[in-house]
Amino acid sequence: MEKNNLKAVVFDLDGVLTDSAKYHYQAWKMLADKLGIPFDEEYNEKLKGVSRMESLELILQNGNAQDKYTQEEKVAMATEKNEFYKQLLHQITPEDVLPGIHDFLEQLKAAGIKTAVASVSHNAPFILERLELDKYFDYICDAAQVPRAKPFPDIFLSAAQNLGVEPANCIGVEDAQAGIQAINAAGMMSVGVGIKSQMQEAKLILPSTAKLELGMLKEYFQLA
C-alpha cells in the first residue's frame, strides 16, 4: 500500500456540510417539552453524531425517564421527532452549505481525489438534495446499511470500501467527538472542524469549514 498518499476525503454531514443540528435541536426540544424533560442547546451538543435512538435515550436519561417507556413507545417518540424534523428540513436551501465547502469540493474534484459522505442520518440523501450537493460525491453511505453507529468505525470503513480506497489513504472530516473517534478507529486521518474541547482526539482541528484547503491538508497528511 502506498503510504501518505491522499486519495479520498470522507465528510460527515450534520455540522460539516450544513448546520442541521439546529433543526435536530428544535425537533428534540418539541418532544422533550411534551415529556416535561429539561433540554437545552448545551445538552444538544451531546447528541451530535449520535444515532436517533441513542439520542432519545440520552434525552430520557436527562429526565430520569429511561425506564418509564416501552421500546414501542420509544420508537413512536423518535418517529414523532423525525416527522417534525423532516418538515423543518424543507427550509434548507443551497445557501445553507457551510462556508468553504463548495471551493474545497471543487479543489478535490480538480485533483482527482474521491469524495464520500459518511452520515449516520437516515435523512442525509434528502438534505444533500436540498443543498444541491449530491452531484459532488462519488459515494453516499446509507446509514440503514451500517449496523454500528459512530464512534464505531463502520460507516467510514464502508465509505472507503465503496470508493475502492484504503482507509490509510483517506481523510475524514467531522464536527463531533463520536465522529472523530470513528475516523481514528477506521485508520483514517481525522480533521475536526469547530470547537477544540469537543474534539480532543482529532489529528488536526480547524476553527471552521472555511479553513478546509487541499494544499494544507496534503502537507499534514504527508507528515502524519
Using the minimum distance from each CB to ligand B16, give the nearer residue, 8 or 120.
120
Question: Which H helix or E strand runs over 154?
Answer: helix 154-163
40 is catalytic: no
| Phi/psi of residue 155, nearest 5 degrees | -70, -35
- Taking CB under 6 A as the rule, does residue 172 contact ligand B16? no
Binding mask 55-94 for ligand B16 (x = CB under 6 A): x--------------------------x------------
Q: Which stretch binds ligand B16 (CB under 6 A): 47-55, 59-67, 156-164, 205-213?
A: 47-55
Taking CB under 6 A as the binding criterion, the range among 62-70, 121-129, 132-140, 207-215 that sits at the site for ligand B16 is 121-129
Is the CB of 22 or the CB of 218 nearer to Mg ion? 22
Instruction: Compute the CA torsion angle 120, 142, 31, 76 (nearest 10 deg).
Output: -130
E-state strands within the chain: 8-11, 114-117, 139-140, 170-174, 189-193, 204-206
- Burial of residue 50 (CB within 10 Å: 0-12, 13-18, 19+) is buried
Query: Hunting for cell 436519561 — which residue is that?
Result: 61
Residues of span 168-187 touching Mg ion by CB under 5 A: 175-176
For residue 203, give the nearest of 98, 222, 107 by alpha carbon.
222
Is residue 29 close enough to count as binding ligand B16 by CB under 6 A? no
Give 37 or 178: the residue with its C-beta nearer to Mg ion: 178
Query: Residue 15's closest CA among 118, 115, 146, 130?
Result: 118
Does residue 12 carry a catalytic annotation?
yes
By C-beta, is 15 or 153 nearer to Mg ion? 15
**Angle in degrees, CA 59, 62, 66, rounded to 5:** 70
**202 lies in the binding site for ligand B16 (CB under 6 A):** no
In the complex, minimum distance from the CB of residue 134 to ligand B16, in angstroms, rounded to a whole number: 14
| Structural contact between residues 176 and 48, judged by C-beta atoms closer than 8 angstroms | yes
12 near Mg ion, rule: CB under 5 A: yes
Which residues of the chain form contacts with Mg ion (CB under 5 A)?
12, 14-15, 49, 175-176
Binding site for ligand B16 (CB under 6 A): 12-15, 24, 47-52, 55, 82, 119-123
**Active-site residue list:** 12, 14
